Structure 1
Amino acid sequence: MSGFAVRFVISLSKYSPSQERNLTVPTYFIAIAGNIGVGKSTLVSLLAQHLGWEPVYEAVAENPYLVDFYNDMDRWGFHSQMFFLVRRLQQHRELVQRIGPILQDRSVYEDAEIFARNLYHQGHLSERDWQTYFELYQTLTHMLKPPDLVIYLRASVATLRRRIAGRGRAYEHGIADSYLQDLNQLYDEWAERFTLSPVLTVDTDNLDYVQHEEHLEQIWARISDRLHGRDYLALEQ
């Protein structure tokens, strides 16, 4: 194994143990969150193959507002985000009704907490539209059963840029570093304050779970520990 350190952070400071649900049956629901290009879909695919769990990828839906949104973000930002939110809520509701362990690529929470919030920060959503949208999001998500665990994959902008270039999607090449950095900051803030599920934060800058199976094994070991209530602390001298 290479000499670099792999850093895992379990964010439990604001998570109440009373929120734990009965995990004695294998019906785990794990959501994998993270920025564009961080490796969510890849990890979902590899873990699903490794464990025999069901992978659920981002729902591809034709957003009827998308063309209008790109032409006039201020006018159509609210409509576009509402469409995405409804579709993501529908998918989440369907997932929690399934039997068997599930790995989800991108959670319902990221639409509002990251992408819609970023549009608001950029001035593409008015204060009134943002408050209406976010109150609806909070009301509906608190009525849904949350995941048993959220895995937050984080990476530096340099790492994200390298991975985005490696997967060769032409439409992603124009994404600005400043946009990725803004999303990184929003993701970090969200992972810190999220309380509906326990959060396992994985720093992926020095991880390559495609080429190094031991990295995948380490991630699964931490997931398993968290699902079964095991934590381990080793202090460095």
Structure 2
Amino acid sequence: MARKKFIAIAGNIGAGKTELTSFLCRKYGLTPFFEPNEENPYLADFYRDMKTWAFRSQLFFLTAKFRLQRQMERSQGTALQDRTLYEDAEIFAKNLHRQRFIDKRDWGMYRDLYETFSQTLAPPDLMIYLRCPVRTLRQRIRLRGREMEQDIPPAYLKRLNGLYEEWFSGYKLSPVLVLPTDKLDYLTNLVDRVDLFQQIEKHL
């Protein structure tokens, strides 16, 4: 019996993670695991006042993603996750710490918890990184119309993009497939779609 696989999709807010997750699940019959944005009771408050709510919001995401990944490990067949706990810690929480929205004491506790969680989890078999410039991210955020996201500053998205590049420059947990989602149209362009499928199948 072939070992079940774990594919992760990484990318900034508005990069197209949920869209690609749904698309690949339809193509390959995968089990999707989506980011629990709607379940986070701190998220709307966080976007209004990042300094007050940053630590609590990130702690929710970290523990929710840990539970989700453990659930994924118990599921049948190949699983596909829309943003992992690695991104929560290495991109979003780290950005908030660097902006001094999460202080040194809370950051130390958060990192201890993250390292404890991550050591107990199996890493992805493939990480798909959706690279996308800030201008395109902002267009997509406006189009999808989530009210709490509409006032996200461009500088915040730019810092996150920088952290993604920094993290992936040293990422060693799994093979990485980088997709420039402002240039690829795998949803309607047959050539882009075939190329995407071939690259995924080569890794898996």
Is the TM-score greater than 0.5?
yes
Distance 1:154 1:97 in 2: 30
Distance 1:185 1:99 in 2: 36
Instruction: Tell me, yes or no, if the aligned pair for 1:56 and 1:104 is still in contact at 8 Å.
Output: yes
Match of 1:161 in 2: 138
Residue by residue over 1:169-206, the C-alpha shift from the partner in whole angstroms, topping out at 9 and shown as x without a partner, is 33322122111111100111111222222222212221
Task: Select the residue among 8, 30, 53 that pairs with 1:53.
Answer: 30
Match of 2:61 in 1: 84
Deviation at 1:215, TM superposition (A): 1.6
After TM superposition, the structure 1 = structure 2 runs for residues 1-237 of structure 1, keeping only pairs within 5 Å, are 25=2, 27-60=4-37, 62-66=39-43, 69=46, 73-227=50-204
Distance 1:39 1:60 in 2: 15
Supply the RMSD in Å over aligned alpha carbons. 2.0
Q: Are residues 53 and 215 of structure 1, via their aligned partners in 2, closer, same or farther at CA, if it must alter by over 3 Å?
A: same
Q: TM-score, normalised by structure 2?
A: 0.90
The 3-state SS of whatever aligns with 2:120 is coil
* Structure 1 stretch displaced more, 82-91 or 56-65: 56-65
Structure 2 unmatched ranges of 5 or more? none
Aligned residues: 204
Q: RCO (CA 8 Å, sep 6+): is it higher in 1 or 2? A: 1
Residue by residue over 1:52-103, the C-alpha shift from the partner in whole angstroms, topping out at 9 and shown as x without a partner, is 2222211245334446655654444323221221111000111012120111
Higher helix proportion: 2
* Runs of 4+ more than 3 Å apart: 60-76
Instruction: Tell me, yes or no, if the aligned pair for 2:10 and 2:87 is still in contact at 8 Å.
Output: yes
Deviation at 1:151, TM superposition (A): 0.5
Larger Rg: 1
Amino acid corresponding to residue 55 of structure 1 in structure 2: P
Residue by residue over 1:28-73, the C-alpha shift from the partner in whole angstroms, topping out at 9 and shown as x without a partner, is 1101010011111111111111112222211245334446655654
Match of 1:230 in 2: none
Deviation at 1:116, TM superposition (A): 0.7
Instruction: Tell me, yes or no, if the aligned pair for 1:59 and 1:91 is still in contact at 8 Å.
Output: no
Q: TM-score, normalised by structure 1?
A: 0.79
